A and B are shown apart, each in its own frame.
Chain A
């Protein structure tokens, strides 16, 4: 799938909003890319689209931020500070995974082996004129959601 250009923060938020329209639990979304390339901003747009009104805090320190939404539970993870996937045990992750929910996981590479496989990976990269996004779908549900990104 080809790259999608995101000029600014508004475009990142809008894209998150578009994803929210079709996103249904259970779903595992990986967000990959360097610091400051807009992973949490995209998640903010997604949560707004799912009806969350409050703040969307970065989960870098808390590692996991749970959200109870109208139709589903969403877990926003940021594994940047993990040095060993084994540390995920201390989060009680295994218990949480038994509930059908939407999982948005930043820095999944830090939790390799201890995470559920993704339906869709979104790779974000810096460009001189903003950010670019490349979707990689690995399931039917992921492919269906990725198509939304190219509409409208």
Chain B
């Protein structure tokens, strides 16, 4: 079965084709590809979240890449939530009506389930059960996974997501917004011993996170350094603050993941979401888990951020289990992952 996946829950428009036998055939994200042909050589500046005008050219792009046509699509999966309601409605209306026009089934997919199952698209796919850390600009969540649709939230951020703290601290340090990856590059030149930031909520039991205070801590550290240097701080000081900040976020995530694995008894950790592409996080997490005889799994970097491939794949899993969307579709801005229908038995 070949499934077309459409993702429009937030900022990115992503489309992909997944084949049950041959795996991922093609995928494309609007912001990453030039669509010259569609607009006669001129690429218009489309507003963020203008999914309406981005989705159709992307579907054509993906079909071309896979050397297929619309009639080769066996089913359509679209993100049905959670996300921005206006953005979700575009993907849902498009996906559902396209499926109806083609006479094939459609299925609505939970955006976070897509992220969580994305590592299963890789050759070294982790087996159930595992603990997943979903860490991005919009989310920081630990989930116990015992099968498709079998999710238990272990902990989550009570305020800012980790990626948001990265982006905002980058801005505070005078970098562009969103500047999380730029901050990480700056941190490589930083001295890890000059400043020490707190590891929020690690000194008490529990698996929840709080990153808002780290942003304020970075701001106060910068202000103090500016006061000492009469307003003109050097590049090294910025790098040192960036480094101290990154160390604190990475340490906090590693501490909580190890705690989640110990508490659940799982051997495998899956990392997904934009921040899971962070090199220091991957290195530190890999070392920490290897020392305990545990494994860390990640999707390839382009499948860490929002994309259509994960929606096509999660949709394929659900369609295989017989799920379909009626002609009446209802995207949900809020949708707790624990409300999802399980697919198959729990593997514990």
Contacts and interface: CB of A to CB of B under 8 A. Distances in A.
B10 A87 contact: no
Nearest to B87: A90
Contact of A58 (B11, B87, B160): B160
Interface residues of B, number: 34
Interface in B218-258: 218-219, 223, 227
A62 B215 contact: no
B84 A36 contact: no
A35 B138 contact: no
Given A36-B215, A58-B164, A63 B159 contact: no
B84 A62 contact: yes
A56 B212 CA distance: 11
Contacts of A63: 84
A62 B168 contact: no
A41 B160 CA distance: 11
Interface residues of A, number: 27
Interface in A52-77: 55-58, 60-64, 66
25 contacts: A35-B172, A36-B168, A36-B215, A40-B160, A55-B157, A55-B159, A56-B158, A57-B157, A57-B158, A57-B160, A61-B10, A61-B161, A62-B10, A62-B83, A62-B138, A63-B84, A66-B333, A83-B47, A90-B50, A90-B51, A90-B84, A91-B84, A91-B86, A92-B89, A128-B227
Closest 3 CB pairs of A and B: A61-B138, A90-B86, A36-B219
Interface of B: 10-11, 47-51, 83-87, 89, 137-138, 156-161, 164, 168, 171-172, 212, 215-216, 218-219, 223, 227, 333-334
